[in-house]
Structure 1
Amino acid sequence: MISGIDISGIDASRPQWFFDFVSPFSYLLLEQRDKWPSFDFVPCPVLLVDLYRHWGQPLGGAVPAKRIFTYRHALFRADQLGIPFKMPPAHPFDSTRAMLLAIAAGGEFACVREIFRFIWREGRDPSTEEGFEQLCERVGIAHGEALIEEESVRAQLRRNTNDAIAMGVFGVPTFWMNKQLFWGEDALPMVLYCARTPNWLDSREVKRISSLPSGIGKPNAQ
């Protein structure tokens, strides 16, 4: 759908896949979609920066050594998986316009994949004027700049992010399956296992570790 988007909340009864185009690991996971469980996942764009702010996590580039390792790890995983990979010219970048474009385009996996490939396979920056114009051409959307200014489109991205937070989503990529969260590109084996053996999450040890008390008290406690 290109216009007249109905603002709607996330249907938590359906499997979801949460992503942000700023995440190289979201790209790498989508490129492995042929390995995903046969659930009908709904692609759901959310703003990673807002997830971090809500949960009090430092932004991705805040720790220099972690930033370097993250980029090396993404490249290493791409090499391992045989997935073409090229970092955009600057990172992190503002992914908001690309996220809004995906919503305006209807949020289908085919469009989402093309946007990811524009950024992470070709190394483009969708946050610049030129980059965003080229991205719109790539996905075949005219007047993209005007579309992403529609309040219904912007409201949908806010709603997605707020609903994801209410569901406990704290990062991307994240699968929501059987009302459970699975975070990270490297969580795919766990997703596949739990799709085949959903009762594992109800096992005694999983339940025990899922409700462990903290041994250091609340943060900033005196």
Structure 2
Amino acid sequence: MSTLPLRWYFDFISPFAFLQWPKIRALMATDPVVPVPIVFGAVLGAIGQKGPAEIPGKRTFTYQHALWRARQRGIELRFPPAHPFNPLAALRLCIAAGSTPAAIDAIFDWIWIRGEAGDSAEALAPVAEKLGVQATALAEDATKAALRDNTASAIAAGVFGVPTLAIGDALFWGDDAHEFALAVLCDPALLDEAGMRHLAALPEGVQRR
């Protein structure tokens, strides 16, 4: 069990967050991981970057790559009716339900296994009912504030994408970085090895204006 705090920053808009979630679930069996739903779009805005679905060509590749990775792992994946979509309702539902593993399961299953819309309280009503959450809870000031606070904490921690697993101050971005994160969990000194320290201090040769 790690002595460092573990936080998993995610947004339901990301198929890669859906793909990493079973791995996070498994990790929770040995390490206390805190799931933190955040607004990916706000993170992108804070760092001045476009999301992969906003870049022609990269959008199609990203979707196909996600589907391929799911098939490689024997995971059923169906995209929702439109993507990208507004994930605020899904994120607020998660928070209103306590951000529990059961709530995360239910919302991911609805959007990425059943392929249903997750862009409004109305679309998510069956999930809310299953979780015992009143529709009005999604519009409560406390729910909205919690999501803003989660997102602000992610930006302050240096999160630049979702999903991101934070091990202490170290950030591991993406489903495909999960094995790297586990290696650091097993050997925290890995990031202090000379080669790793060299990369962290590598000078920039040029900057794009």
Q: What TM-score comes out, normalization by structure 2 length?
A: 0.93
The CA distance in 2 between the partners of 1:104 and 1:50, in whole Å, is 20
In the other structure, the counterpart of 1:120 is 112
CA contact (8 A) 1:104 1:153 kept: yes
Task: State whether structure 2 residue 53 is matched by structure 1 residue 80.
Answer: no
Q: CA deviation at 1:31?
A: 2.1
Select between 26-35 and 193-202 the one with higher mean Cα deviation: 26-35
SS of structure 2 residue aligned to 1:58? coil
Q: CA deviation at 1:39?
A: 1.9
Q: Point out which structure has higher relative CO (alpha carbons under 8 A, 6+ apart).
A: 1
Q: Which of residues 33, 42, 65 in structure 2 aligns to 1:50?
A: 42
Q: Which of residues 81, 86, 89 in structure 2 aligns to 1:89?
A: 81
CA contact (8 A) 2:9 2:36 kept: yes
In the other structure, the counterpart of 1:29 is 20
The CA distance in 1 between the partners of 2:152 and 2:205, in whole Å, is 30
1:160 counterpart letter in structure 2: N
Q: Tell me the alpha carbon deviations over residues 9-61 of structure 1, each in whole angstroms, 9 at most, x when there is no partner.
A: xxxx6210000000000011012335537321000001000011111111332
**Structure 1 gap ranges (5+):** 1-12
**Structure 2 gap ranges (5+):** none
Q: Which of residues 10, 33, 57 in structure 2 aligns to 1:19?
A: 10
Aligned pair count reads 205
The CA distance in 2 between the partners of 1:20 and 1:77, in whole Å, is 18
The CA distance in 1 between the partners of 2:5 and 2:20, in whole Å, is 19
Task: State whether structure 2 residue 114 is matched by structure 1 residue 137.
Answer: no
Q: CA deviation at 1:136?
A: 1.3
The CA distance in 1 between the partners of 2:100 and 2:109, in whole Å, is 14
Structure-2 change in CA distance of 1:136 and 1:26 (3 Å): same
The CA distance in 1 between the partners of 2:138 and 2:123, in whole Å, is 15
Structure 1 or 2: larger helix share?
2
CA contact (8 A) 2:15 2:112 kept: yes
The CA distance in 2 between the partners of 1:139 and 1:34, in whole Å, is 18
2:145 counterpart letter in structure 1: A
In the other structure, the counterpart of 2:59 is 67
Q: Tell me the alpha carbon deviations over residues 180-220 of structure 1, each in whole angstroms, 9 at most, x when there is no partner.
A: 10000001110111111110101111011011111103x42
Superposition CA RMSD, Å? 1.5
The CA distance in 2 between the partners of 1:81 and 1:138, in whole Å, is 28
The CA distance in 2 between the partners of 1:74 and 1:110, in whole Å, is 23
